[in-house]
Structure 1
Amino acid sequence: MLPLLTAAQIREADAHTIATEAVSSIDLMERASKAWVSWFINHFQDKRQSITVYCGTGNNGGDGLAIARLLSEHGYQQLNVKIARFSEKFSDDFTTNRQRLQPLSIPVRELPAGYQTLTENSDIIIDALLGSGLNKPLSGDFDRLVTYLNSLNKTVVAVDVPTGIFTEGDIEEESTILKADLVITFQQPKINFLLPESGDYIMCWETVNIGLNEDFIQSLQSPYQWVEERDIKKMLIPRKRFSNKGTYGHALLIAGQAKTMGAALLCSSACVYAGAGLTTACIPESGLTALNSYQAEVMAIVRREYELPDLELSKFTTLGIGPGLGKNEDALALLQYILNEYDKPIVVDADALNLLAAHPRLLEQLPAGSILTPHMKEFDRLFGEHKTWWQRLQTLKQKAQELNICIVLKNAYTITATPSGILYFNSSSNAAMATGGMGDVLTGIITALLAQKYSPEEACLIGVFLHGKAGDELALPNRLQVVLPGQVAARVPVSIARLV
């Protein structure tokens, strides 16, 4: 796992690298600027485009001055630099790079505090104003400058962090933040890049390795972790030659009503494709024909109205409950029955989550290691309204620990919270997967992994990654704008085969 660091921890990693590798801070800045420029010149190859580099007077501004010099050396001639000198403070490395820039014929303009006029005509704006050290909202001259730059609708490429955004902490509504088409960030994504509020300000981001000491980064024991493909490869267990269906468990999925059988079909189908040895769906009698037609490999237990089904819970390795289940008295009685009679980890989704929200005392009855899979609105129904995603992260961590469960909070970078207090951000998936039923497929995948004796934490991390990976393999090669949940479910075996 790649630890995701706070701004303070990033400064620690910088300082440790400088101290242990006998590299000066200005040389580390040069290393970072070269990595940044290497990515930039491979993707902005038209050297006739005009570029303005906006620099503050701290180390982010020093990066910007070094980037301007390096771009000039690579043949970009229509360059100019504007320095926001809104205070008398400046870093030593900024001063050094300012001196290094002087012999070149790059126009430099300083914007003093209270500057009166500014006209920007360049095609590309490189943002090196403030970087990761920001700890309060923009105000005064910076607020005015960023507001002006946002009004131009230029292509903006940010150095490490867009001006005005915090690397972690609350992103408040109405914040003044420079909107970036691209952020080329150093070493690793910043935590706030992975939260939905950043989508208003960051179209996309890329990381460049600047050679910070990885052992030291690991030693910082960040509670925020980035899950990559290599991590999932280590977790997945190849099937053995003399295994059989009993080896891979028996999953029960309690889902669907007459008008919401699609959810039951999708989650039970995904459970089969994700490798459960046996899958049984507990569905209403009216859905039996649909199930047999859609996925012949799924067995059925019929639910009748006003009756608890005879489930023989002891024969099931695990179960998932909720997709399309409804929120009526029958559904509530069934959920209560499960919580009273079943002591193994279960997966709770959709309508079952809403029942827990309406009857919060039931949360205390969840078996240890159970998994909740809410989207944002379901999460807030369960645990109260939140103004920001940063607040949700703190609640997410707290509730997973308090209840001794895993919580999968779904979004573009789905976050899994574990009882140990770690929050894992997923690195797969894409916007083509934003369609109804995709969460039902995820429920089926995670339930299948639990059935196969993966731990709850492993089932969440593998399941979320596989779900997104299957969607990526379908959408990205052909630039599809939409992939369907059933397609994702059917793709899962291929995605697994590419990882084991």
Structure 2
Amino acid sequence: MKIFSAAQIKNGDLFTIKNEPIASVHLMEKAAMACTDFIHHKYLKTQNILIFCGNGNNGGDGFAMARLLYQKGFDVDVFIDKSKKGFSKDAEINYHRLKEFLGIRILDFTDFNEGFINEDSIIVDALFGTGLNRKIEGEIAKIILKLNPIHVHKIAIDIPSGVFADENIPENAVVFKADETLSLQFCKQSFLHPEISEYCGKIHILEIGISKKYIENTETPHYIIDEEIVRKIYKKRKDTSHKGNYGKTCIVAGCFGKIGAAVLATKSALFSGSGLTYILAPKCGYEILQTTCPEAMYLYGGEDFIKNFTVENDFTYGIGPGLGTDYETEEKLMHFLKNYNEPLVLDADALNLISKNSENLNLIPKNSIITPHPKEFSRLFGESKDSFERLELAKSKAKELGIYIVLKGHHTQIITPEGNVFYNITGNSGLAKGGSGDVLLGIITSFLAQGYSPENAAIFGVWLHGKAADFTAEKHSKEAMLASDVIQHIGEVFKYLQK
């Protein structure tokens, strides 16, 4: 799914109006109908709805919704800033249509008090849309500050007022805090960043009839990983294949006290379809790994296993989980990277070792995949003030180094050397536990070994990891689920894709 900027969204409206053709006021009506149908199907008609409208097209959506909801049997009150004169053209049309309905009160923001609220009330934010490019001030800021603490259900139309579509909100900005956001046609990029998602609540993308031709022909560097993308990437296993068709995965992981990381990475590689799977780990992990991962082959490394870390050109390496960061490990890893030129996957302690010297970054083979969480990313590339700045830095570094960066987080981002960004929306907070990253490394390394391109291995791996976590949470809960449980649900995801 493409993610468009605020400017592109506006152009999409204009293109649709010109080429469908459809009058702008009719497009506004379609948006209002989509939002009305959502509320009508989800909530009881006995609930009263308070719609707060601005003077622009977002307010016009709110005026049209008020009329349509009233016709469906809801009790509706509309609040506006009567001190501000003039509406946008289409908002003006819908405002006058609304005034014809005597059963709908049109009140000033200053008239609002908690006497309008009961336990079944719904507050609707139709104050500002995606065109906002400044802090909210004045009467609208006052009303938002009055609404936010009220404990009833709140719905934002298209975007919570105060949120920008493409960037972070300014410091100390006033922002409407929604329980649900009814985003019209497109998901906004900012929704996928942690600083903004807390204001959006649950996001619903509502189809309003923007031109399919415009969507198909308009280019963007930003995407959501949806099932359409994943199904194009996924390569179904052929019945005539053998283990040699699915690559040789080598997991380099573990040190005393952290053999569990090696187990998780190895098991997830096995469950993800690796043809032959090897483990390079210290002697203290031998019995554990051979017992827990009998399908994998243990490469005996002795006490100082890292000394036996040699280049095998037909292996695809996943390096880092629980590896340790001592000097000898650092020395051997850097020697390996100097002599290895194929794409590989680096995570955890491998990234921590590389971050000790900025020159080490140039040792990462081209087209490799690194999977840092925000702190690991900062150690590698420097601090960022927020996730938006971190993403821009990641784009710069991915291009400079010719690598793929899997920037782990609330909505993990895959950044390509070409500057494309793929946001993942599978997964849940149950993954916020030790071991989850080890599982992800094993999955991505396995896909890379099986012949998926680095870009597709990263995209598919992150999506599958999150989808398996969603199945896991359904069974065990977010609180109780473990990283090892996620591995056990990988098979369910493949079965889901094969339906």
Instruction: Work out whether the TM-score is over 0.5.
Output: yes
- Residues 386-429 of structure 1, C-alpha deviation per residue, up to 9 Å, x if partnerless? 11111112111111111111000111221100111100011211
**Equivalent residues of 2:280, 2:305 under 8 A apart:** no
Question: Which residue of structure 2 aligns with residue 331 of structure 1?
Answer: 329
2:31 paired residue number: 32
Task: Give the alignment of 1:172-321 within 5 angstroms.
Answer: 172-306=170-304, 308-321=306-319
The residue aligned with 1:12 is 11
SS at match of 1:468: helix
Whether contact under 8 Å (1:433, 1:482) holds in the other structure is: no
List per-residue Cα deviations over 1:172-215 (Å, max 9, x = no partner). Answer: 44322111011011112111110011233122111111111123
Q: Does the aligned pair in 1 maintain the 2:12–2:210 contact within 8 Å? A: yes
Report how far residue 301 of structure 1 moved.
Answer: 1.8
Task: Compute the displacement of 1:478 (Å).
Answer: 7.1
210-219 vs 220-229, greater mean Cα deviation: 210-219
TM-score by length of 2: 0.95
Task: Check whether the contact 2:86–2:92 (CA below 8 A) recurs between aligned residues.
Answer: no
Q: How far 1:235 moved relative to its partner?
A: 1.1
SS of the residue aligned with 1:338? Answer: helix
Aligned residue number for residue 85 of structure 2: 88
Give SS of 2:332's match: helix
- 1:226 Cα offset (Å): 1.1
Aligned to 1:97: 94
CA displacement, residues 19-38 of structure 1 (integer Å, 9 cap, x when unaligned): 00110000000011111111
- Offset, 1:315: 4.8
CA separation in 2, counterparts of 1:41 and 1:184?
13
Q: Output the CA distance in 2 between the equivalents of 1:476 and 1:71.
A: 34
- 1:440 corresponding residue in structure 2: 438
2: distance between equivalents of 1:185 and 1:85? 27
Q: Which amino acid aligns with 2:17?
A: I
SS in structure 1 at match of 2:25: helix
For residues 168 and 28 of structure 2, the distance between their equivalents in structure 1, rounded to whole angstroms, comes to: 28
> Are the counterparts in 2 of residues 170 and 391 from structure 1 also a CA contact under 8 Å?
no
Code of the residue aligned with 2:228 in structure 1: it is R
Query: What percentage of aligned pairs have identical amino acids?
Result: 37
Deviation at 1:459, TM superposition (A): 0.1
1:107-146 correspondence to structure 2 within 5 Å: 107-111=105-109, 115=110, 118-119=113-114, 121-122=116-117, 123-146=121-144
Equivalent-residue separation in structure 1 for 2:316 and 2:427 (angstroms): 26
Letter in 1 for 2:95: R
What is the DSSP-based 3-state SS (H/G/I as helix, E as strand, rest coil) of the residue aligned with 2:385? coil
| CA RMSD across the alignment | 1.7
- Shift of residue 312 of structure 1? 4.7
Structure 2 match to 1:449: 447
The aligned runs of 1:41-56 (5 Å cut-off) are 41-44=40-43, 46-56=44-54
Q: What one-letter code is carried by the residue in structure 2 that aligns with 1:101? A: L
1:369 matched residue in structure 2: 367
* Higher mean C-alpha deviation, range 203-212 or range 303-312: 303-312
Q: Distance in 1 between matches of 2:38 and 2:152?
A: 20
Task: Name the residue aligned to 2:163.
Answer: 165
Query: Relative to structure 2, which stretch is displaced further, 95-104 or 233-242?
Result: 233-242
Structure 1: distance between partners of 2:115 and 2:403: 53
Change (3 A) 1:477 1:265: closer
Judge conservation of contact 2:282–2:304 (CA < 8 Å) in 1.
Answer: no
Structure 2 distance, partners of 1:273, 1:307, is: 25
Bigger Cα displacement from structure 2, 421-430 vs 6-15: 421-430
Contact 1:266 1:437 survives alignment (8 Å): yes
Aligned length: 494
Task: Say if 1:413 and 1:9 are closer, same or farther in 2 by CA, change over 3 A.
Answer: same
Q: Is the CA contact 1:345–1:369 (under 8 Å) kept in the aligned structure 2?
A: yes
CA 1:120 to 1:294, structure 2 compared with 1: closer, same or farther past 3 Å?
farther
Aligned pair partner of 2:349 in 338, 348, 351: 351
CA apart distance, 1:434: 2.1
Deviations 1:447-493 (A, max 9, x none): 00000011000000110111111111222367654421112112213
Q: Which amino acid is 1:180 matched to?
A: A
